[in-house]
Amino acid sequence: MKILVCISHVPDTTSKINFTEENTKFDSNGVQFVINPNDEFGLTRAMWFKEKQGAEVTVVNVGTSETEPTLRKALAIGADGAIRINTPATNSFSVAKQLANVAKDGAYDLIIAGRESIDYNGGMVPGMLAALIDANFVNNCINLDVEGSDAKATREIDGGKETVSTTLPLVIGGQKGLVEESDLRIPNMRGIMMARKKPLTVVEANETSKETTSISFEKPTPKGAVKLVASDNIDELVNLLHNEAKVI
């Protein structure tokens, strides 16, 4: 089984986010980048298929040379090879089209993507990719088993879970639950050394239309000031809630 794992290069959730050029561009200065968490769950599940079923695992990313350390980390975790599509990830549709070209050329049986990236939270790429390559698709996937050309997947739905059966080729939008957090892997020294010898192929992007453009970004409104009331001053608390907050 050939598996393609789509990897997004995203800011660490602890990074302080700023914008430049009148809030039209993301400021990457001083920001630590990591593998998108939803993609990391998918990569870990792919490694399970590699170890249990002898699957071949390739990771792919749409991005410029700045994303290569993230791909190298995926190789250190255990992926067999990496592909970087040499173009900025500007919008969901163009990213999906670039990934579709790689997927078609490689004739992959299973494509694992995160259900969304934690930077733009678009949640559109996996579904678009499945449509472009005419593959089956399961989103919000929290469990996946493959036997031959048959697959059984469990996904989250409103109010519960649903288990579906399908066939390869298959695209899934994975998330937390696809593997346990305790199963996520930290590259060891041997993996890091081996990653240097594994192939990281750079392919040029095919020309695609730009369907959307980010006009501007805006940070959440800062939290307001907090008034502290002594625990034994119930009268003052009731007064503030009634006359100032007007919630009672």
Mean pLDDT per 10-residue section of the chain, whose length is 248 residues: 97 90 89 95 97 97 96 97 95 94 96 94 95 97 97 96 97 96 92 94 87 86 86 91 89
The confidence score (pLDDT) of residue 193 equals 94
The confidence score (pLDDT) of residue 102 equals 97
Residues 35, 140, 168: CA angle, nearest 5 degrees = 90
Among all chains, which residue has been given the structure tokens 């995926």?
74
> At 82, which amino acid appears?
A
Say if residues 182 and 176 touch (Cβ distance below 8 Å). Answer: no
The confidence score (pLDDT) of residue 125 equals 96
The confidence score (pLDDT) of residue 134 equals 97
The confidence score (pLDDT) of residue 17 equals 87
Cβ-count burial 210-236 (b if 16+ within 10 Å, e if not): eeeeeeeeeeeeeeeeeeeeeeeeeee
CA distance 134 to 136: 7
The confidence score (pLDDT) of residue 138 equals 98
CA distance 45 to 5: 10
To the nearest 10 degrees (0 to 180), the angle between helices 92-106 and 125-133 is: 40
| CA neighbor of 113 nearest in space, from 101, 123, 102 | 123
CATH number for the domain formed by residue range(s) 2-219: 3.40.50.620
